[in-house]
Structure 1
Amino acid sequence: MAEDKGKIEKIREKIRQFPASPGLYFMKDSKDAVLYIGKAKNLRSRVSSYFLPSSDIYSSRGPKIAEMLEQVCSVSCLETESEVDAILQEARLIKDIRPPYNTNLLDDKTFPYLQITTYEDFPGVYITRNPGEKRCRLFGPFTAIRELRGVLVLLQKIFKFRTCKLEISADDEKRRFFRPCLLHSINQCTAPCAAKINKEEYSEIIEELTKFLRSKRSVVLRDLKDKMQKASSRLRFEEAAEYRDKINLISKLESRGTVSENVQPELFVHNLSAANQKLAEMLGSADPIRTIEGFDIAHLGGSETVGSLVKFIDGSPFKHGYRRFKIKTVEGIDDYASMQEVIRRRYKRAMDGRELLPDMLLIDGGLGQLHAVENVLDEFEGQKPYLASLAKKEELIYISGKDRPLRLPANSPVRKLFQYIRDESHRFAQHYHHILRRKAFLEEAENKAKKPRTKRKKKSKNKPEE
């Protein structure tokens, strides 16, 4: 009982060092494994509420959380810039780490995007959870689908773009005989389907919409606020309420991440099942290449170096097979040695016959990384998996045992599969690296706070004798 009180008091002491800002918190067991990931507007307040002496966790949060807290031995946090970042990062980390006490966000559901089909003569604007294969302009991901639908309706009233799925060609002379839909009648669409607007004029509308989505939208918001105040001063309260609702909807456009930073990689790869067969043909293998494991290394100036392993089966990510490795034996910047450590730790059990080997290993890097891994695999006996590396700049594929690298076309299913695995391993390594950096920063801040301050000697007011 005394041990439990000491453990809880130690946790409370650490929570006092948490920032009072948005972020994620991690509940961990005695082996430092993550049991639960949560998000908070105020990290210090939220996490401390789990460990208040007066709180009845069983009644307020349920038996599962109470069971989890009995196993918690430490807590840590990851501060984010905003609540939106916390929401997006929470979803990504839960999908990657799959903590046993998180029940939500474990499915394949993703956050939506606003998509502009810029490859078309008359681009459409849509809400989608599955961006198309063709080149589009994407905004998001957004955290609230209901508000996003309301924003789209409002934006269409302002910019009058099309939201239909018709295929419209600027060279189609028959368009002028087409009857437009009701949206044109109520002045919410310029009706390119019926040749009511030419390609150049419509392109200007899409360009203005794009600028609006990329900007702070201050001009439109200021105009709506002026209209709301004028309507209110004239006692037109229903009209003022409509303007207020429009302001709130446009403000919801801020509740989003970015395509590059808040990656949802499972959305951007299509028709990769054919890549396994093509890959087997390329390698001259009689059997299909079904299981591929990808590796990457991440660090900042040689500090907090980590390695990542992602597993793909039949062209799709297998999240239960993902692993992270904190580098233990390498000091400073040495990606080759770090990669060798990861490979040794990963395949020691497999080479001893206690685990199955994958069909192929894919390393993020060039010829140097490939040779470094070859040296490790040579230490083990028995049949070895195929080995390849993918260099970033020119997207060259180096395959162990072949003299020259391969340069596959951009639409090659094998190249797309390799890029998917490489990018996923890179993202997975970087995310873990950022967590360790934040953890190290908090521990350093905590140690500084505990360090007693030395009292400065007061200077004598009397001048020294000359």
Structure 2
Amino acid sequence: MKKFPLVSVDSEALRTLSMKPGVYLFRDLQGVVLYVGKAKKLRSRVRSYFRSLKDLSPKNQKMVELIESVDSIVVGTEAEALILEANLIKEYQPRFNILLRDDKKYPYIKVTVREPFPRVYVTRRVVNDGSRYFGPYTSVNQMRQALEVVNRLHTVRSCRYNLPKDSPDRPCLDYHIQRCKAPCVGLQSESEYRGMIDDILQILEGDTEELRSQIDARMMDASEGLNFELAAKMRDVIAGLDVIAREQRVHRTQGGNIDIVGLARDGKLAAGVVLKVRRGLLLGRVAQRFGEIQNETDQDLLSSLVSRHYLGGGDEGMVDLPRMVLSPNFFSDQDLLEEILTEAAGYRVRITVPQRGEKLRLSELAEVNARQVLEDRIIALTYADNRAEDALFSLQDELGLKVVPRLMVCFDVSHMQGKETVASAVVFQNGEPSRADYRHMRIKGDWGNDDFQSMQEAVHRYFRRRLDERTPLPDLVVIDGGKPQLSAAHNAFNHLDLPDITVVALAKKEEEVFVQGKKTPLRLDRRNRALHILQRIRDEAHRFAVRYNRKLRTKRTLRSQLGDIPGIGPHRQTVLLRRFGSLKGVKSATKEEIARVPGFSKALASRILTYLGN
């Protein structure tokens, strides 16, 4: 029988893992997810981490030392494991996974083509509802120009009536100011309205040449008929179409519908882009920034970028799939991802590495875009570093600190009427958030609404652990609150016999800074950078605490609903929520999917769906 190194994980639990495909989650002592991974054979993959620590990378060695428990979720196929892994990484954001962050949530133009009288509007949420989405628009001006052309050329309804079933008794104001032809009361036929929508789709797809000729002819006819007002309107439409044609970077490609992946890397920073080409036109760009990377190869980054672009975004990633994905290099899970995309699209989706010709040129264009995103990030970090440095020196002067507060921690307490009381400890290093060092904790004492006792417990537990682990102590401690919270923190320090650490409290509303030993609070100018950095860390600690409190309340609500089902105890509730992510995920699952979860039969699956109203 094989021996495993001295780690906290139960070696017997490792030996009894399934040999089927699935996803595994490594957790630390507090239950926080450290890493999410997938495996073709769960037992073999998980045990490989614990055979010989010296064969692991430094990053994985550190991770294994922190692992306290292993959770596993068995699924039917390796493809299901890949999809579940992407969703769980997005849900938990584990510190040892490669993390991707969107530059922004860019807007789309949505056309509800499945409705008899479609609407056209801006949205930042993409769902797989059969509508047509155009974007994402990285330039808001470009999106506004496209909508302006649409509004000048056509009169699209802005109401939310479910036409023709649900309609008003009379036209609204839009009809009287000639912004709508009132299809809601039958003054515009469905066929005429559909023809208008077809023109709008042409504009948004970037195919403006044919439409420009038609508008040009209408302008000339209006001019010859002395209808100069209509001619001027058509002239403005043509000008708008020319702007769209100029600003949209057009590339004619073979195959028409292609996504092009680009990757750029500079030390521990990296960025990726996915360019969207439809009908030979470059319609949009999605940019992603990687969190601080360690020993990952370019292939690792590429695999994370592509997998999570399509699988980690829910419906958004599976809308309007291409026929081909151009990748700068081969990566793991490429064949598996190709299989998943093909099944979702209903047609063959190929992932290929271009070698020459037009497709190679497009791949180089994507790399240029990725390099630009990365350079923008480096410039922004340099600028932020300079500003943060000034703010830290200003903070040192205002508080009279002996050292520049390069390492800061801020505490906040959150609860709902004394229930689910939690605390957060947010860390800033060199003036910027160090999210890997964030901590949250449940308050163990039965203090109810007593924020002061809760604050004292949180500060005591946090510093007790840092002293035990011999990790560096912060230069400055910030407390979200006033004098009472500040006193609570000092009581915790007195019990621990800590060295001299400066502690301040920042009170809301007046933004007064309370310093222990000073009778009057410090009032900083609202434009002072020292105050700005205190506000940033205070607000971040508040956000982090509220988020954890809300998460616990949501779990309690979900468990109470699942707990009403006969035969579903706490363990099965946990298994269901980990497998499907949420109560909504359980409701949308089929009987067969629930029955595949270990410990669930088809009869039990039917009972669950019946109780949930599905």
Could you tell me the TM-score, scaled by structure 2's length? Answer: 0.41
Distance across 1 between alignment mates of 2:134 and 2:506 = 37
2:456 and 2:488 in contact (8 A); partners too: yes
2:410 and 2:427 in contact (8 A); partners too: yes
Distance across 1 between alignment mates of 2:389 and 2:414 = 29
Alignment partner of 1:390 is 2:379: no
Show the counterpart of 2:104: 111
Distance across 1 between alignment mates of 2:407 and 2:566 = 49
Deviation at 1:74, TM superposition (A): 7.9
1:228 and 1:239 in contact (8 A); partners too: no
Distance across 2 between alignment mates of 1:239 and 1:428 = 47
Distance across 2 between alignment mates of 1:358 and 1:153 = 47
Show the counterpart of 1:148: 137
Deviation at 1:341, TM superposition (A): 0.7
Pick from 24, 30, 40 the counterpart of residue 58 of structure 1: 40
Distance across 1 between alignment mates of 2:124 and 2:390 = 28
Show the counterpart of 1:360: 476
Pick from 539, 543, 547 the counterpart of residue 431 of structure 1: 547
Deviation at 1:111, TM superposition (A): 1.8
- Compared CA separation, residues 387 and 74, structure 1 to 2 (3 A): farther
1:179-258, aligned counterparts within 5 Å?
229-231=190-192, 239=199, 241-242=201-202
Distance across 2 between alignment mates of 1:159 and 1:319 = 42
1:37 and 1:99 in contact (8 A); partners too: no
Structure 2 letter corresponding to 1:301: Q
Show the counterpart of 2:32: 33
Structure 1 letter corresponding to 2:144: L
1:38-49, aligned counterparts within 5 Å?
none
1:65-464, aligned counterparts within 5 Å?
71-72=70-71, 94=93, 98-100=94-96, 102-105=97-100, 109-112=102-105, 146-149=135-138, 152-159=141-148, 229-231=190-192, 239=199, 241-242=201-202, 271-351=387-467, 354-450=470-566
Q: What secondary structure sits across from 2:497 in the alignment?
A: coil
Could you tell me the TM-score, scaled by structure 1's length? Answer: 0.53
2:146 and 2:203 in contact (8 A); partners too: no
RMSD over aligned Cα atoms: 5.3
Structure 1 letter corresponding to 2:515: I
State how many pairs are aligned: 312
Deviation at 1:328, TM superposition (A): 0.9
Higher RCO, 1 or 2 (CA under 8 Å, sep at least 6)? 1
Deviation at 1:355, TM superposition (A): 2.8
Distance across 2 between alignment mates of 1:386 and 1:322 = 20
Q: Deviations over 1:272-300 (max 9, x none)?
A: 32111111112223321211101111111
Q: What secondary structure sits across from 1:394 in the alignment?
A: coil
Q: What secondary structure sits across from 2:525 in the alignment?
A: coil
1:290 and 1:315 in contact (8 A); partners too: yes
Q: What secondary structure sits across from 1:357 in the alignment?
A: coil
1:228 and 1:244 in contact (8 A); partners too: no
Deviation at 1:322, TM superposition (A): 0.7
1:296 and 1:426 in contact (8 A); partners too: yes
- Compared CA separation, residues 300 and 73, structure 1 to 2 (3 A): farther
Distance across 2 between alignment mates of 1:449 and 1:299 = 28
Deviation at 1:2, TM superposition (A): 11
Deviation at 1:327, TM superposition (A): 0.9
Distance across 2 between alignment mates of 1:377 and 1:111 = 41
* Segments ≥4 residues shifted beyond 6 Å: 1-8, 87-90, 139-145, 215-220, 224-228, 243-246
- Compared CA separation, residues 150 and 6, structure 1 to 2 (3 A): same
Distance across 1 between alignment mates of 2:17 and 2:561 = 21
Distance across 1 between alignment mates of 2:548 and 2:561 = 20
Distance across 2 between alignment mates of 1:30 and 1:110 = 30
Unaligned runs of 5+ in 2: 1-10, 50-63, 75-85, 108-121, 127-132, 163-173, 207-282, 284-315, 317-379, 569-614
1:112 and 1:145 in contact (8 A); partners too: no
Deviation at 1:360, TM superposition (A): 0.7
2:137 and 2:143 in contact (8 A); partners too: no
Distance across 2 between alignment mates of 1:342 and 1:237 = 59
